[in-house]
Amino acid sequence: MIPAREALGRLREGNRRFVSSISSEERISGHLRRVELVKEQKPFAIVLGCSDARVPAEIVFDQGLGDLFVIRVAGNIVAPSQVGSVEFAASRFGTRLVVVLGHSQCGAILATIEELQRPAENQSRNLRSIVDRVRPSVEGLLKTGLGLNHDALVRCAVRANVSASVNQLRYGSEVLEELSRSDDLLVVGAEYSLETGIVEFYDDVKSS
Ligand SMILES: [Zn+2]
């Protein structure tokens, strides 16, 4: 089992390689690696990220086959099936690091802001279920008057939405809470910049 701090270091290193365009993907995803993984997987990190085509976790962290257990859903929201997937990987594979990975200019955030400012009629019930989970993060910000500055609102909403997902994983699951207490499971927030390719891990990770 790889401790959470070490796993975090690997992700930071991998993102540095990605940003400097020295990807090692071929080495880590080749035929031998595939054969090795047939019997079992031991992903060293769980990533709950957005479905956005520009933010594939394996690529932005320069990781290969079997390295990451990835759950992707628009807006990196936490619904019961996402909690269940994280619980499954943490319990079954002993993975000790969970990263909620949001990103700049997230379409789910933009759609939620739009919906709050100009509610659409006949929105699909399924799409609404995503917007409804992002909504509390944005509503609080609109009350502060941030709605007047669209870019700042989007930036803050991305961050608030990641933090909300982190909190739901930290405190919304008995299984994960117990693993955090007894087994050093770490749930952290991070944000990918479409502009620079850099993943910034949120402050509470650095200080602890
Ligand atoms: Zn997104």
Which residues 6+ apart lie within 8 Å of 195 measured at CB? 104
pLDDT digits (tens, 9 = 90+) for 123-152: 888 989 999 999 999 998 988 877 778 999
Taking a C-beta distance cutoff of 8 angstroms, is the pair 89, 33 a contact? no
What local confidence, expressed as pLDDT, does residue 205 receive?
Answer: 59
pLDDT at 207: 43
For residue 125, the CA-to-ligand 1 centroid distance in Å is 19
In the reported structure, the alpha carbon of residue 196 is separated from the centroid of ligand 1 by a whole-number distance in angstroms of 16
Residue 48: predicted pLDDT: 98
Q: Taking a C-beta distance cutoff of 8 angstroms, is the pair 191, 12 a contact?
A: no
What is the predicted pLDDT for the residue at 208?
43
CA-wise closest residue to 202 among 185, 186, 190:
190
DSSP label at residue 145:
T
Cα 75 to middle of ligand 1, angstroms = 5
> Ligand 1 centroid to 26 CA: how many Å?
27
Q: Which amino acid is at 140?
A: G
**pTM score, whole prediction:** 0.93
How close is the Cα of 76 to the center of ligand 1, in Å?
A: 7
CA of 40 to the centre of ligand 1 (A): 31
Q: For residues 154-175, b (16+ Cβ closer than 10 Å) or e, as one string?
A: bbbbbbbbbbbbbebbbeebee
Distance CA 24, CA 20 (A): 11
Strand partners, 188: 99
pLDDT in tens, 39-56: 999 999 999 999 999 999
Instruction: Provide block-wise average pLDDT over 10 residues at a time, the chain (208 residues).
Output: 95 96 70 89 97 98 96 97 98 97 97 88 87 92 83 95 97 96 94 98 66
